Structure formats: C-alpha cells, structure tokens
Amino acid sequence: MNISGKTKILGVVGNPVSHSLSPAIHNYCYQLMGVDAVYLPFEVKEGYLKEALDGFCFLLNMVGFNITIPFKEAAVSQMDISGKEVEAIGAVNTVKRGEDKLIGYNTDWLGFRDSLRVNGVPKPKSTLVIGAGGASKAVAYALLEMGVEKLWVTNRNPTRLEIFLKRFAGFEPVAWDVDAISKVLPEVELVVNTTSLGMDGVSLPPVDVEKLPKNAVVYDLIYEPEKTPLLKNAEEAGLRTVNGLDMLILQALYAIEIWFGKMPDFERVRAYIKGEGKNASG
C-alpha cells in the first residue's frame, strides 16, 4: 500500500475498535478495485462523537466512515441528511461527506438480507429474533422489508423490548423464558440471535433448538467464535446454521458502493477474509 497526498482516508469510528475486521475487509477491497484509499480504526471516547465526526470530515477531509458500537444510535442526530432506512432503524452505520454535510445511511440491514441469499436461505415465512438492542433493529427492518409474514421477538430487558415494539409494531413479543419460547419454536423457520450471548463461547439464549422444525435455519450475528454454543447445538440437532461474517462483509461492500459507486466481488473478499485467498492479487 502506497500512501500519498492523494490517498483518500476512510475508517471506522467506535469504542473499542482495535479488534475490528473492518480495516482488513476495506483495505483489501480498495486493493481489488484499484482505489487509492486507506481505511483506519478510530477509537473515540464517549461524549466526543460530534467533535470526532466534524473533525474527521471537515478537518481530515475524509470521504466517509463507518460507525460501530456504541455510537450507531447516537450518530443519527448528528447527520444533516439521512436515508429512510436510518429513520426506520434508528441507527447509522455508514456516513458519507457531502460538500458541507454529513449524510447517514444504514447498510447493516442490506448485509443481513443478502447474507441469507448468499447462504442459500430462502425467505422465511416466520422468524424469531433474539434480542431487542441495536443490532436487532437492522435485522427487524430487513425482515419487514422482505415481507416475512410472522415475526416474534424476545429480550431479557422488558423496557428495551417495549421500545423495540414501538418501532416495529409487526412483531409479537415472547417472554424471555425457555418454556414460553418453546411454544412458538415449532412454527419458526428462522431464528436470529442478535445478542452477545455466545461470544464468550459458553453462554446461550433460552432457545431449545430441538423444538424447531427440521427445515429451520439458526443464524447468529456473532462471527467470533465462528460457531457459538447456539450454532453448535443447532448443528447437533441437524439444523442449518449461519454466522455473522457474511453480513459484516456485505454491509462493508454496500458502504464502499456509497463512497465509490462500485463494489468488489463478494466471493473473492469472503475467501480472503476466511484466509483462503490471502495471496490473491488485486
């Protein structure tokens, strides 16, 4: 990578960001596309989001950047212009610098939607979303846009669940209880875990996968570890599983399209990130 005075600067804003896969994804994509750009992680202290966004775009002259935890929701009010999906989801994950404006987008929902397609998962007739936090909202918006007929959501925190249901009235709440959840599981074709349960390699949401129909798919937004306890249990029950890596890659490709008007080949990027194509040249 050759850095010059003409090199465009992009990055990811969050806290923490030191372990983010986004720089590896984006910098490889720029190499593939022949774009003179570099993508860097920027760790911002809470309470300094506005100063950071203004500084990045109007002092560093950045083309744009991604926003990750914990700033996706707080960033909405900092945008001068936002896409309709931002208003619906209530979160921004991609920002483009206009001449004197910040333009906000959300590509997470596109990443989730397309991750089903690339994994050969047909549009489900019914879905259970586990969790009602920030990540769940992009998933919920995608499911509604896809026209999924029957939607349930469960969450540990009743207050957060209530906020979710006010935004997404098409969902039916289910108590955070293995027995209550088990009652709906026989009708569920897709389960999506949007919580951090399983990131430690031990914890599990209260979902008895044995109660799911044999054609059900279990999806976990977590990609590290590659197989959470939920996914392991689902595989042992003979069910198809998907983790969150493809969603991460696809939301990045959509952000790149917003910034540069084009995107590289998904399969090639996925192979590189999975370690199968690290010797690939651009």
CA distance 130 to 191: 7
CA distance 131 to 1: 40
CA 97: distance to chain centroid? Answer: 21
- Burial of 272 from C-beta contacts in 10 A (0-12 / 13-18 / 19+): buried
Q: Copy the structure tokens of residue 3.
A: 């850095």
CA distance 32 to 274: 16
Backbone dihedral region for residue 222 (phi beyond 0: left; psi -120 to 50: alpha; all else: beta): beta
CA distance 155 to 139: 14
Task: Give the residue numbers annotated as catalytic, written as ranges.
Answer: 72
CA distance 61 to 43: 18
Cβ pair 93, 106 in contact under 8 A: yes
Q: Write b or e for each residue in 196-216: b if 16 or more Cβ atoms lie within 10 A of its Cβ, otherwise e.
A: ebbeeeeeebbbebebbeeeb
